Amino acid sequence: MVSMKRLLSALLAAALLFSLTACGTQTAEAAKEKQNNGPVVVATLFPAYDFARAITGERCTVTLLVPPGAESHSYEPTPRDLLRIENCDLLIANGGESEEWLETLLDGTARGFSALYMLDCVDALEEEEKEGMQDLHEEDDEGGIEYDEHVWTSPRNAVTICRAICGELCVIDPDGAAHYRQNCDDYCAELEKLDAAFRDIVAQGRLDCLIFADRFPIRYFVEEYGLDYYAAFPGCADDAEPSARTVAFLIDRVRDHAVPAVFTIEYSNGKMADVICEETGCEKLLFHSCHTLSADDLARGETYLSLMWANTESVREALG
């Protein structure tokens, strides 16, 4: 049976295609994005957008599809989004259930572009249910496996993804191959420095466990550095109020291990962390997953590297 979510997605795609036939001026607007005569890259999420910018430099036009501050899981694409994809040379998406809207959108396109999915670049990890975690997942319609989609939170994964992006660009634009490879090498060297910093921090830490009074979108990160964790919700959980049992469990873990800080993620209201901090005297810290940035973040020039370097200081403090 077709789920309501998929039915609505199909109706959305039909509406988009209808609106395109009545809006020819948008085709001209999308075409303007090729004015530099170089390849056009469209990325659905900020990490892919930022990686592509670093690798392409000024040679390509790179566009972020999901706008700053928008929630990718519930994003509703526009006719302009479809035009951007149809006019691009390379689409970089994340893949997975959170981008079902994209797959529906692509059903209505003439695929004259290459597509790269970040989830396909690395070994995907299944969503994990940890002790004390409030399980908010509904049953999958087809009984399939649910994967953690935040693959970029491991700097080592980021290196792998960047190499894959570079490879695609070299095929699309062979004249620019040397340019892309040099930029990719330079950027990956910066990612290697970030990776080394996290490894040093973990090696020197008193603790080996992070506590998230929030959703937990960094499983790839903790797996990379051999850390344990406790969290209130899985990484892709919908917004919900935590149960008293979940809050009490996390408070006990903070007290048991004398944890100096608990984490929240970007766009969280932080209320659960506030309760835990009030009860235990620990500090509330931000771990920015880099999933999406605000317009102010982008205006300030924040990047994957700048946000992850800020995370190094937070992790250092949390591990004591």
* Nearest alpha carbon to residue 292 among 96, 111, 64: 64
Q: pLDDT class for 174, splitting at 50, 70, 90?
A: very high
Domain residue ranges of the chain, discontinuous segments joined by +: 4-192, 204-318
Report the half-sphere exposure of 318 (CA within 13 A, side-chain side).
28
d(CA 309, CA 316): 11
Tell me what the pLDDT averaged over the chain comes to. Answer: 87
Q: What is the DSSP letter of 237?
A: P
CATH class in words for 4-192: alpha beta
Tell me the per-residue pLDDT of 57-114, one tens digit each, with 9 for 90 and over: 999 999 999 999 888 877 888 889 999 999 999 999 999 888 988 988 888 677 789 9
Is-same-fold flag (4-192; 204-318)?
yes
**Digit-coded pLDDT (tens) for 15-70:** 444 444 434 444 444 444 454 568 999 999 999 999 999 999 999 999 999 999 88
Q: What pLDDT sits at residue 241?
A: 78
204-318 folds as Rossmann fold (3.40.50)
Q: How far is CA 229 from the centre of its chain?
A: 19
Count of other CB atoms within 10 angstroms of residue 181: 16
